[in-house]
């Protein structure tokens, strides 16, 4: 186990976490051939900007993401495969930063951005946001200003729903967070401010504030409201992305009705190989297929977003409860 630890945070030498992550990435590119080739491939990927009405989306053609985008995440498949986030099954060359004793920060071997980390709990336990949001907020603060952090719900984007993990990507990677407030309108102006995205085809709220306990309480209320209003057992489908600047956390929450759009399951050229998680919902739509990359347009993006977001009616009911 010890050989898998690259560094410990916080450490006695007070090195900041973003700097440690940059060091980890350099070390891993040198000593883990698979990661070196993943980053070489990443440098050659193509992106295309779609200017849709009210927002912009980057299409990303990234063949290496086909494993996570196509992952079978149903109960039976998950139960019958070895967990790739557990220490026993991780590559021997993969090292991590032990983060506040219970998480390990690892380089994502299929990066969507230059500087893409997976932050894995030391124990095998399921994705669950209500209990782990406090750690996501800590991580957002420790990773600032270079990175933002996010969570994919077990049924809407996580390819390891059975093993608690977050991800970290460069702070400027996701257009919807980078250009906040942009199309967001403030709907409640108290010590926790609540914003709602308008005219961007997604059901999304932002909680902003500097008091961690108040944020946690407001988030718990939101989850409870969603649980009452959305007909689903277990955790409501959410993607949560969190940033921290000048003492203020911003928690962006996408409320989802389903994981993948219908077109994901079509055959041949009709298929749209896009599996929406936080990255896609926040404005970078990744497809491992060149055909999709060349052909997808704003109308496709609009219908994907609309299909996987909760309805306007549910959104209104949830907001009423806050």
Residue 284 and residue 306: Cα distance in Å, rounded? Answer: 16
Q: How far is the CB of 127 from Zn ion (least distance, A)?
A: 11
Q: Is 163 in the site for Zn ion (CB under 5 A)?
A: yes
Q: Which stretch binds Zn ion (CB under 5 A): 103-111, 157-165, 174-182, 190-198?
A: 157-165
Which of positions 208-227 make contact with Zn ion (CB under 5 A)?
none
The smaller minimum CB distance to Zn ion, of residues 159 and 292, is found at: 159
Q: How far is the CB of 142 from Zn ion (least distance, A)?
A: 23
Q: Which stretch binds Zn ion (CB under 5 A): 49-57, 66-74, 136-144, 163-171?
A: 163-171
The smaller minimum CB distance to Zn ion, of residues 126 and 175, is found at: 126
The DSSP symbol for 73 reads -
Cis peptide before 279 (omega within 30 of 0): no
Residue from 7, 64, 85, 208 in contact with Zn ion (CB under 5 A): 85
The smaller minimum CB distance to Zn ion, of residues 120 and 174, is found at: 120
The dihedral formed by the CA atoms of 18, 214, 254 and 275, expressed in degrees to the nearest 10: 40
Token pair for 99: 């983060």
Neighbour-count burial of 92, counting CB atoms closer than 10 A to its CB (0-12 exposed, 13-18 middle, 19+ buried): exposed
Which of positions 105-124 make contact with Zn ion (CB under 5 A)?
124
- If residue 227 lies in a helix (H) or strand (E), which one and from where to where? helix 212-229
Query: Would you give the distance in Å from CA 236 to the centre of its chain?
Result: 15
- If residue 8 lies in a helix (H) or strand (E), which one and from where to where? strand 5-9
The smaller minimum CB distance to Zn ion, of residues 153 and 209, is found at: 153
Residues in contact with Zn ion by the rule CB under 5 A: 83, 85-86, 124, 163
């Amino acid at each position: 186990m010890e050989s898998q630890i690259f560094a410990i945070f916080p450490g006695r030498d007070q090195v900041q976490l973003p700097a440690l992550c940059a060091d980890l990435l350099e070390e891993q590119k040198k000593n883990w051939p698979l990661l070196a080739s993943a980053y070489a491939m990443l440098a050659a990927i193509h992106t295309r900007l779609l200017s849709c009405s009210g927002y912009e989306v980057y299409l990303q053609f990234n063949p290496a993401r086909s494993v996570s985008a196509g992952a079978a995440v149903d109960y039976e498949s998950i139960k019958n495969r070895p967990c790739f986030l557990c220490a026993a099954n991780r590559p021997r060359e993969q090292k991590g930063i032990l983060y506040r004793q219970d998480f390990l920060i690892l380089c994502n071997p299929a990066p969507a951005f230059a500087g893409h980390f997976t932050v894995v709990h030391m124990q095998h336990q399921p994705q669950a946001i209500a209990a782990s949001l406090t750690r996501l907020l800590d991580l957002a603060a420790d990773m600032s200003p270079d990175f933002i952090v996010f969570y994919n719900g077990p049924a809407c984007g996580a390819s390891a729903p059975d093993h608690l993990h977050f991800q970290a990507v460069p702070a400027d990677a996701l257009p919807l967070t980078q250009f906040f407030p942009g199309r967001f309108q403030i709907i409640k102006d108290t010590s926790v401010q609540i914003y709602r995205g308008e005219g961007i085809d997604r059901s999304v709220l932002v909680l902003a504030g500097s008091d961690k306990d108040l944020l946690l309480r407001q988030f718990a209320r939101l989850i409870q409201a969603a649980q009452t209003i959305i007909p689903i057992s277990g955790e409501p489908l959410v993607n949560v992305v969190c940033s921290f600047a000048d003492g203020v956390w911003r928690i962006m929450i996408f409320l989802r009705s389903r994981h993948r759009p219908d077109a994901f399951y079509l055959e041949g050229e009709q298929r749209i190989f896009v599996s929406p998680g936080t990255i896609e919902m926040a404005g970078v739509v990744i497809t491992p297929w060149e055909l999709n990359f060349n052909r997808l347009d704003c109308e496709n993006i609009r219908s994907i977003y609309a299909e996987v977001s909760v309805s306007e009616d549910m959104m209104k009911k949830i907001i009423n409860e806050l």
